[in-house]
Amino acid sequence: MKPIEDRQIKEDDQLYVLHSWSKQKDVDPKIIKKASGIFFWDDAGKKHYDMCSQLVYLNVGHNHPRLMEEFKHIGEVPLSSPGFATASKAELARKIIEVAPKNMAKVFFANAGADSNDHAVKIARMVTGRYKIFSRYRSYHGATFGAGNLSGENRRFTVEPGLPGFIKFETPYLYRESIHFDSEEAAAAFYVDRLNSQILYEGPDSIAAIFMETIPGSNGVLIPPKGYMEGVRELCTKYGILMICDEVMAGFGRTGKMFAVEHFDIKPDIMTFAKGVTCGYSPLGGVIVSQAIADYFDGHVLMTGLTYSGHTVSTQIGCATLDIYKDEHLVEHAAEMGDVLAERLEQLKARFVSVGDVRHIGLFAAVELVKDKQTKEPIIAYGMDYGKDTVGLMKKFVGLLLNQGFYTYSHESSVIIAPPLIITAEQINEAMDLFESALAMFEKEYLF
């Protein structure tokens, strides 16, 4: 492709491109001119700390030399339809099973997160012969019609009135729970008991799967209380319901473990993945199924498919990406750097009146802002205009962060912090200094 001037790119973008989740007249995108590691430079020459790994997928950082090199080694047969076996598809499936929980056996490859979740729903329905799917409020599973119905926040209103049989239940969110619990275990028991009632009222024999983000990400890194995931697993086993964990955002090292499910004493029946498997260098997602489900499809037709399932280029990039996690010890590094980030976040909570809560696990974190620490009045009240930032306060804060060179995004009143896993302790501290400067300005100018 010939070089094109920035002015021309922006003009064509404005004329011909539809941008997601936006009023098009409000869209004024920057251009990334140069990128390396945790940094990128925009078309005004400004340097940014990429503190959300683009959309929480760039775990190995920008322009990783091994991945850039891998593109030069795409094999002599760069494509074949899904019915063919290819070296990269076979190898990547094996590599994923090697790092997945022990009960996992096979992989169905999809294109990205949402369609992986759609396929997980179809697989659960095929295997169980049941049709209802439970998923949670305060979750995001993607924008396709199926994944949109799974999602439990305002982005799902775009697919309403929605599909019959998609049932929502509550995500534990202790910071905003009106009931006081003496321990995390007590909270877990409460939520699991409520879920049990809901299952009974819906009829266990009609429920194919309980679908959860292992740790809900975009909705504010809502870490489950101790014993909750195990409790849900027990209910699934008791009623013959499949437990599906969406690891699209939390998987591949983000939480300091290869998969977030490893933080709990559970083995899901199905896991979905995308983002970190290739770190976005080429689109790829997939569904990992247990041995029991894999066995089921030995004798039953897997009634689904995608033209690009297991695409050769993406799976080759996936193989190289998984090698990088291993060779650079990125998962262990994420856990160590998570401690550095955690310390800064806890200090933030202690020092700033507008920080209501901080939640963190590995390099997966959220800062929840409030107008009043005592009453926990949120910056944006959920349920008010579907959680939209009508006065634009969170937008203003994200803008202040951007001016400081701290690139990230927010959801309701929470700001996501999820840098590439290659980040160093020094870089975390530099970036968090920028965060603090922006927060001080925000409090002074807009809050108190």
Helices (H), 259-374: 291-299, 312-327, 330-351
Determine which residue in the list 49, 104, 142, 398 makes contact with ligand PLP, applying CB under 6 A. Answer: 142
- Closer of 96 and 400 to ligand PLP (Cβ): 96
333 near ligand PLP (CB under 6 A): no
How far apart, in whole angstroms, are the C-alpha atoms of residue 400 and residue 398? 5
Kindly report the backbone phi and psi dihedral angles of residue 103, in degrees, each rounded to the nearest multiple of 5, phi listed first. Answer: -80, -5
- Closer of 88 and 219 to ligand PLP (Cβ): 219
Alpha carbons within 13 A on the beta-carbon side of 313: 12
199 near ligand PLP (CB under 6 A): no
In one letter, which amino acid is 417? I
Binding segment for ligand PLP (CB under 6 A), chosen from 34-42, 139-147, 306-314, 353-361, is: 139-147
357 near ligand PLP (CB under 6 A): no
Q: How far is the CB of 239 from ligand PLP (least distance, A)?
A: 24
Determine which residue in the list 249, 379, 415, 432 makes contact with ligand PLP, applying CB under 6 A. Answer: 249
- Contact criterion met (CB below 8 Å) for 109 and 309: yes
Binding segment for ligand PLP (CB under 6 A), chosen from 194-202, 221-229, 242-250, 369-377, is: 242-250
Rounded to the nearest 10°, the torsion over CA 63, 69, 70, 72 is 120
- Closer of 92 and 355 to ligand PLP (Cβ): 92
58 near ligand PLP (CB under 6 A): no
Q: What is the DSSP code (8-state) at residue 224? A: P
Radius of gyration of the chain (CA): 22
For 180-193, give the DSSP string: --SSHHHHHHHHHH
- Closest by CA to 284, choosing from 249, 254, 310, is 310
- Closer of 214 and 312 to ligand PLP (Cβ): 214
- Closer of 118 and 269 to ligand PLP (Cβ): 118
Can you read off the two tokens belonging to residue 391?
Answer: 């006065």
How far apart, in whole angstroms, are the C-alpha atoms of residue 338 and residue 347? 14
- Closer of 247 and 389 to ligand PLP (Cβ): 247
Q: How far is the CB of 218 from ligand PLP (least distance, A)?
A: 5
Question: Which residues between 87 and 126 bind ligand PLP (CB under 6 A)?
Answer: 112-114, 117
- Closer of 213 and 368 to ligand PLP (Cβ): 213
218 near ligand PLP (CB under 6 A): yes
Q: What is the DSSP code (8-state) at residue 37? A: B
259 near ligand PLP (CB under 6 A): no
Binding segment for ligand PLP (CB under 6 A), chosen from 80-88, 137-145, 173-181, 304-312, is: 137-145
- Closer of 104 and 260 to ligand PLP (Cβ): 260
Determine which residue in the list 133, 188, 229, 248 makes contact with ligand PLP, applying CB under 6 A. Answer: 248
Q: What is the DSSP code (8-state) at residue 18? A: P
- Closer of 159 and 432 to ligand PLP (Cβ): 159
- Closest by CA to 354, choosing from 337, 376, 381, is 376
- Closest by CA to 142, choosing from 115, 179, 109, is 115
Token pair 């490859």 is found at 109
313 near ligand PLP (CB under 6 A): no
Binding segment for ligand PLP (CB under 6 A), chosen from 21-29, 34-42, 140-148, 230-238, is: 140-148
141 near ligand PLP (CB under 6 A): yes
Determine which residue in the list 70, 153, 246, 269 makes contact with ligand PLP, applying CB under 6 A. Answer: 246
- Closest by CA to 365, choosing from 339, 398, 389, is 339
Which helix H or strand E contains 242, and what residues bound it?
Answer: strand 242-246
268 near ligand PLP (CB under 6 A): no
Q: How far is the CB of 214 from ligand PLP (least distance, A)?
A: 9
- Closer of 117 and 427 to ligand PLP (Cβ): 117
Determine which residue in the list 118, 153, 213, 269 makes contact with ligand PLP, applying CB under 6 A. Answer: 213
- Contact criterion met (CB below 8 Å) for 446 and 396: yes
Q: What is the DSSP code (8-state) at residue 41? A: E
Determine which residue in the list 146, 217, 227, 276 makes contact with ligand PLP, applying CB under 6 A. Answer: 217
Rounded to the nearest 10°, the torsion over CA 117, 220, 403, 447 is 150
Find residue 213's DSSP bridge partners.
246
Could you tell me how many residues of this chain bind ligand PLP (CB under 6 A)?
A: 15
Question: Which residues between 38 and 57 bind ligand PLP (CB under 6 A)?
Answer: 55
Residue 390 burial class via C-beta count within 10 angstroms: exposed 0-12, middle 13-18, buried 19 and up: exposed
Distance spanning both ends of the chain, measured CA to CA: 51
Q: Which residues bind ligand PLP (CB under 6 A)?
A: 55, 112-114, 117, 140-142, 213, 217-218, 246, 248-249, 274
